[in-house]
Amino acid sequence: MYSIILLNKEGEIIYFSENLPSLFGYKKEDFSKVLAERLEPFLPTSLAPSGKLFSQGEVVIPYRKGGRELLFFDLLIGAKIIFLLSRTKERLSIRTLEAVLNSWEEPAFLEREGVVILANERMGELLGCGKEDLMGEVWENFIILGEGKELGGNSLPVIVQTREGKRVDFTARIHELSWAESSFFRFVILRKDKEEKNELLNRAFLIQRKKLLQMTEELEKMNRELLRLNEAKSEFVSAVSHDLRTPLTTIMEGIRLCEDGTLGEVNPEQKKFLRLALEEAQRLADFINDLLDLSRIESGRISIRRRKMEVEKLIFRVLNPFQKVKESKGITINISLPEGLPPVFADEAHCYRILNNLLGNALKFTPLGGEIEITTEFSPERQEVIIGVKDTGIGIPKKEQGKIFQKFCRIERSGGQNIPGTGLGLALCKELVEINGGKIWFRSEENKGSQFYFSLPLYSEVLELKDDLKWAEEQTKKSNLPLALFLIEGLGEKPANFYEELESILQKENRASGFYRWLPLKEELVIFLIAPSEKFYDNHLVLCDFLKKKFTIMPLISYQIFLPKEVNQDEILKMVLKKEKV
């Protein structure tokens, strides 16, 4: 059984299948009220976009004489709201029907009981409106059949009336789609008579197109093979590095235990060699870590979590472990921090590695008694903070400057002062700065010193929201589960532990899928939730329950579901920020 219910944008029922009221024992005029009550929770609220939207759910409808039945529905939103009710869970996929429609090059639509359920782009173009505007419309509004004719059989001549009132002759071809015994949808495909005559020409064109597609496919195949080989290389580097890291940790731990005397007394001579071994092992560990990180970046597997971050705190965290080197080389490190430096938006672990590398280089390439300065500067025009590390060291020869961000870079210096290194540090810094949305550059003069700078974007809610959406999109694609977006408006003063409690109830609710994230935007709260669609309604109820308990005046919750293929960051961003500038 398939029945349909049509509602206008205001949520008022304007049509339902005739079989429905008698099925549940109601008179037609009473049934509207019963339905309205039952469907109300599923109606889209302020979040409903003008674009298409599909979702699924379950609704319980009471029999007039007692008892009730659970029906499954597909919800489609276009110019009208369409509920397709079914008694069985196994039903036609709306996405598939849409894909079939889109595959027709002619204008086409899917109809049931005289109502357009879905239409393709061409259909909209033909009539002069969007295809969503046709969803829920009675097709008799734009298709005129001959006197006494019905839309049936295989094909029949029709006149199509555009929105501007123009009339065009077409042949309508009708394909019936049976499902669950007798119920069916009908595909109506419109063909221009002239087009039939041009069929031969069309066919020649199609053959050419097929050849082109074949060639594209071959190219894509080769491309995929290249990508696969590249991936295999990255995987190899990553696997080898991984396998080296584990035994190295054990070796270092062993040396450390010997060196600090835990395993028995060691004389100063032995201690000296153990210390040396430990330092070399540490260098090897750093090299492996750099190699691993670079291969992760190359294969797009590096994890990045940008957050609001204070630059000052970062500088002091990085400086701390360098105290010993600094003292042993008699180098002074000055820090210049302007007052009121705004927070940046970056991954703290990445920034730590960047600054750690730059400072490590500055200390390594600056002779005894030299000077290093860490600078910070806020650029209002570029909306970024620039962090600099300046040294008075050996500098980089002009002719070598072009390659210092390349992997495994080795620099030829006059006088044979070649200091050992892996040449991976700066390559990694560049990659890390760039994935955080910044830039890295330097100035250097041989025997005078070098100045390295990197920029980081200022923190803003919009940037954070963009990252969250990117994350949400990745999760939906990875899990192939729909994305639910809840918008809670008018939260005002939040009770103590609001977020902690919310987190714990959502965690409980989403044990199976487990992905969610929220973003407080001034008075509002946006929650992204990636959960199976059956769970989505539970989440809605859980949120409502929670808010009801916490607030005397219930905040407004609106929600929307996006299937994995439908998640469109820009559209969601605009919706969430509404009139704010994006």
Binding residues (CB under 6 A) for ligand ADP: these are 357, 361-362, 365, 391, 393-396, 404, 409, 411, 421-427, 450
- Taking the CA of residue 498 as centre, how many other CA atoms within 13 Å lie in the half-sphere pointing to its CB? 15
**486: closest CA among 462, 512, 520?**
520
**11: closest CA among 94, 86, 77, 85?**
77
Q: How far is the CB of 404 from ligand ADP (least distance, A)?
A: 4
102 vs 375, beta carbon nearer ligand ADP: 375
- Taking the CA of residue 33 as centre, how many other CA atoms within 13 Å lie in the half-sphere pointing to its CB? 5
Query: CA-to-CA distance for 472 and 467, rounded, in angstroms?
Result: 9
16 vs 365, beta carbon nearer ligand ADP: 365
Q: Which single residue brings its beta carbon nearest to ligand ADP?
A: 421
Token pair belonging to 416: 């044979």
Q: How far is the CB of 248 from ligand ADP (least distance, A)?
A: 18
The residues pairing with 184 across neighbouring beta strands, listed in sequence order, are 178
238 vs 357, beta carbon nearer ligand ADP: 357
188 vs 427, beta carbon nearer ligand ADP: 427
Q: How far is the CB of 578 from ligand ADP (least distance, A)?
A: 46
445 vs 545, beta carbon nearer ligand ADP: 445
Q: What is the 3-state secondary structure (H, E, C) of 315-378?
A: HHHHHHHHHHHHHHHCCEEEEECCCCCCCEEECHHHHHHHHHHHHHHHHHCCCCCCEEEEEEEE
Q: How far is the CB of 214 from ligand ADP (least distance, A)?
A: 46
424 vs 472, beta carbon nearer ligand ADP: 424
- Taking the CA of residue 543 as centre, how many other CA atoms within 13 Å lie in the half-sphere pointing to its CB? 25
Q: How far is the CB of 359 from ligand ADP (least distance, A)?
A: 9
40 vs 412, beta carbon nearer ligand ADP: 412
157 vs 367, beta carbon nearer ligand ADP: 367
Residue 577 makes CB contacts below 8 A (sequence gap 6+) with 462, 465, 521
The residues pairing with 115 across neighbouring beta strands, listed in sequence order, are 112, 138
Using an 8 Å Cβ cutoff, are 502 and 551 in contact? no
Q: How far is the CB of 305 from ligand ADP (least distance, A)?
A: 25
* Sign of torsion over alpha carbons 301, 401, 324, 377: negative
Q: How far is the CB of 265 from ligand ADP (least distance, A)?
A: 36
Query: CA-to-CA distance for 422 and 287, rounded, in angstroms?
Result: 7
Q: How far is the CB of 360 from ligand ADP (least distance, A)?
A: 8
Q: How far is the CB of 289 from ligand ADP (least distance, A)?
A: 12
Burial class (CB in 10 A: 0-12, 13-18, 19+), 464: middle
Q: How far is the CB of 443 from ligand ADP (least distance, A)?
A: 11
C-alpha distances in angstroms, 34 versus 31, 53, 62, 156, 483? Answer: 5, 25, 8, 40, 30
Token pair belonging to 96: 């598939």
Query: CA-to-CA distance for 216 and 493, rounded, in angstroms?
Result: 57
424 vs 506, beta carbon nearer ligand ADP: 424
424 vs 567, beta carbon nearer ligand ADP: 424
